[in-house]
């Protein structure tokens, strides 16, 4: 089930951000190595929104950690901007699923957002960037609050602002809206699409929600099985800007949803 990888050479292409070639990840367990990701081949282009969808336990988080340089591949090659990954790459930031653990609870919202900039920019430049990032996620009024004083959706927006303040070329997002209620989730989805248009960042967005994957993505990659494999990759040819009501009622949206359900179902029963 590995036919989705394109056959062309990848090294020299300038708008290629990530490229994985047959990358596998194994973890050492007491009963020997356990393979979590199996021969992943995947590409991310500049300003592309790639969603990765699959059931839980298929290595989605590990795939994101692999791209973010937190987990090394045991076989195969992972390149970022043409160079092999060796630790977290510059300009690539992960937004974690568990925002309450990922935020520095002892810092205010503003100081959380400044976290990645400290020591890299003069103070007034940091203040300006923090202000910009907070405006993008509409949290200017909460700059001096502490994270625990905010709702879950607001805390996740703080984490997104912290990543955006770095002006990253790539955002890696691990089920960032998984723990939120449906209404907050829809609002943050639209906010994220708006942010992508405003910043031009490339995004890899991991989720187990098929509709979310179709709604957000320019392209959807299906990951299934344990160990996780990329099944098929589907281009999402839906008009932009997307709209929570109109887009989700389009026949093409339903077709794509159907297609992805089948792709996941078939691999699960294969």
Partner 1 sequence: MPEIGRFLARVNWPGFATIVVGFLLWELLLRAGLAQYQNLPPPSAIADGLVEITRNGELVADALHTLRVVLIGWATAVVIGVAAGLILGVSATLRDYSLASIEVLRPMPGIAFAPVALLLFGFSLQMELMVVILPALWPVLVNTMGAVAGVHARLFDVGRTFRLSGAATLRKIMLPAALPGVLVGARLSMTLALVLAVVAEMVGNPAGLGYAVVREQQAMRPDLVFAYVVAIGAMGVALNAALTGAVARLFPAAAGRVREAA
- The least distance separating partner 1 from the CB of residue 101, rounded to whole angstroms, comes to 4
Query: Rounded to the nearest whole angstrom, what is the least distance from the CB of residue 149 to partner 1 in the complex?
Result: 12
Query: Whole-number minimum distance, CB 92 to partner 1, in Å?
Result: 8
What is the spatial distance between Cα 234 and Cα 196, in angstroms, rounded to a whole number? 20
In whole angstroms, what is the distance from residue 212 CA to residue 173 CA?
Answer: 13
CB of 66 to partner 1, least distance (A): 13
* Angle separating helix axes 123-136 and 182-199, nearest 10 degrees: 130
Touching partner 1, residues 156-175 (CB under 8 A): 166
* Residue of 66, 93, 230, 236 interacting with partner 1 (CB under 8 A): 93
> In the complex with partner 1, which residue's Cβ is closer, 2 or 105?
105
Contact call for residue 70 and partner 1 (CB under 8 A): yes
Q: Which of 27, 106, 125, 194 binds partner 1 (CB under 8 A)?
A: 106
- Using CB under 8 A, which of 6, 57, 90, 262 touches partner 1? 90
Name the residue among 46, 24, 125 with its Cα closest to residue 92: 46
Nearest approach in angstroms of CB 69 to partner 1 is: 8
The three-state secondary structure class of 4 is coil
The span from the CA of 60 to the CA of 161, in Å, is 23
Among 5, 54, 59, 69, binds partner 1 (CB under 8 A): 69
Give the largest CA-CA distance in the chain. 57
Omega of the bond leading into 241 within 30 degrees of 0 (cis): yes
Catalog residues that contact partner 1 under the rule CB under 8 A. Answer: 68-70, 87-88, 90, 92-94, 96, 98, 101-102, 104-107, 115-116, 118-119, 146, 166
């Amino acid at each position: 089930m590995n036919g989705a990888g394109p056959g062309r050479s990848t090294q020299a292409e300038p708008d290629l951000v990530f490229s994985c070639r047959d990358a596998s990840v194994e973890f050492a367990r007491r009963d020997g190595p356990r393979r979590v990701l199996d021969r992943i081949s995947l590409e991310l282009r500049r300003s592309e929104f790639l969603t990765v969808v699959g059931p839980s336990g298929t290595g989605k988080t590990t795939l994101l950690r692999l791209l973010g340089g937190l987990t090394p591949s045991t076989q195969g090659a992972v390149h970022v901007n043409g160079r092999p990954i060796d630790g977290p790459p510059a300009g690539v930031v992960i937004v974690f699923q568990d925002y309450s653990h990922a935020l520095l609870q002892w810092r205010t919202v503003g100081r959380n957002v400044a976290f990645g900039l400290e020591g890299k920019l003069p103070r007034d430049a940091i203040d300006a960037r923090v202000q910009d990032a907070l405006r993008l996620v509409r949290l200017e009024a909460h700059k001096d609050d502490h994270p625990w004083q905010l709702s879950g959706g607001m805390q996740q927006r703080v984490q997104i602002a912290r990543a955006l303040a770095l002006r990253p070329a790539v955002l890696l997002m691990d089920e960032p809206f998984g723990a939120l209620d449906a209404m907050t989730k829809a609002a943050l989805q639209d906010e994220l699409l708006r942010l992508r248009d405003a910043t031009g960042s490339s995004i890899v967005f991991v989720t187990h929600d098929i509709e979310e994957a179709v709604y957000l993505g320019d392209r959807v990659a299906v990951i299934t099985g344990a160990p996780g494999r990329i099944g098929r990759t589907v281009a999402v040819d839906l008009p932009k800007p997307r709209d929570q009501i109109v887009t989700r009622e389009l026949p093409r949206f339903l077709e794509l949803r159907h297609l992805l359900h089948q792709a996941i179902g078939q691999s699960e029963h294969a």
